[in-house]
Structure 1
Amino acid sequence: MIELTQIGAQLIFIGAVFFLVGLIQGALIPAVKNARMALSGHLTAVQCAMALAIFGVIWSLVELPLYLEVFVAYGCTVGFILIWLGITIASVTGASKALPIAGAGFSAAETTESMVKIMVRTGSLLSLIACTLLTFGLLHILTQLQ
């Protein structure tokens, strides 16, 4: 049975706030240096926000040791925010090396390019690890149905 947990409630709240931030960013797309990158940031925020809210709703189904639960919940959150923040900074500064398709035709200072690359790659790795662990924490629900 699905019930609301403290971590689940926090994930739902963070997801709702992140969704709002993504909507605001969507309205600001024309105001940045690279509108194509800003659209990517807007979509990233909205999609990651929905994922966090869904994770919050199903959180009571996750069976992991407490330290892994905390890592998964906040690893996903921090990972998603790092990806979004890197993309958003790239949209404002014109950084393009980390995301060459959305950044085509733009460039920024080498330190900005490096910062964006580190944020996007760290966020991607962190969220990949956390979401993989989340999947393992949900495996038991398949055996409960048999």
Structure 2
Amino acid sequence: MIELTQIGAQLIFIGVAFFLVGLIQGALIPSAKNSRMALSGHLTAVQCAMALVIFGIIWSLVKLPFYLEMFAAYGSALGFILIWIGITFASLTGASKALPIAGAGFSANLTAEVALKIMVGIGSLLSLIACTLLVFGLLPLIS
């Protein structure tokens, strides 16, 4: 049976708050320098928010050592948020080198381009590791 844990409740709260931020961002898409990138940021926020809520709901099923459980939970939240911040930053500055499809036709100064690459890179790595841990933490369900 699924029961709500403290970490699960925190992930649900973070996810719902993140979802709200994504909805607000959706209303602000026309005011961004790069509206395609702003749409990408909006979609990233709402999709990652839903993932965090789902993670929170199923968290009692995750079987990992404590430190890996903490990393999986908060690493996924931080990773998703960093990706979203990077995409939103790109929508406002025009940075595009790290995200060439949504950024086509836009450019920014070197500092903005490097900042985008760092945020999206670290966020992607964190979320990839955290979600991989989550898969391993759920393996006992299928045994």
> What TM bracket, shorter-length normalisation?
over 0.9
The equivalent of 2:82 in structure 1 is 82
Unaligned runs of 5+ in 1: none
Query: Please, what is the CA RMSD of the aligned residues?
Result: 0.3
| Residue 6 of structure 1: how far off its partner (Å) | 0.1
Q: Is structure 2 residue 32 aligned with structure 1 residue 27?
A: no
| Residue 115 of structure 1: how far off its partner (Å) | 0.2
Map 1:93-132 onto structure 2 (within 5 A).
93-132=93-132
Q: Is structure 2 residue 61 aligned with structure 1 residue 61?
A: yes
Map 1:129-144 onto structure 2 (within 5 A).
129-143=129-143
The equivalent of 2:4 in structure 1 is 4
Q: Deviations over 1:31-69 (max 9, x none)?
A: 010000000000000000000000000000000001110
- The aligned length equals 143
Which one-letter code corresponds to 1:45 in the other structure? A
What secondary structure, in the 3-state scheme, does the structure 2 residue paired with 1:39 have?
helix
TM superposition outliers: structure 1 runs of 4+ over 4 Å: none
- Structure-2-length-normalised TM-score: 0.99
Unaligned runs of 5+ in 2: none
Within 1, Cα distance between the matches of 2:57 and 2:15? 11
- Structure-1-length-normalised TM-score: 0.97
Within 2, Cα distance between the matches of 1:21 and 1:108? 25
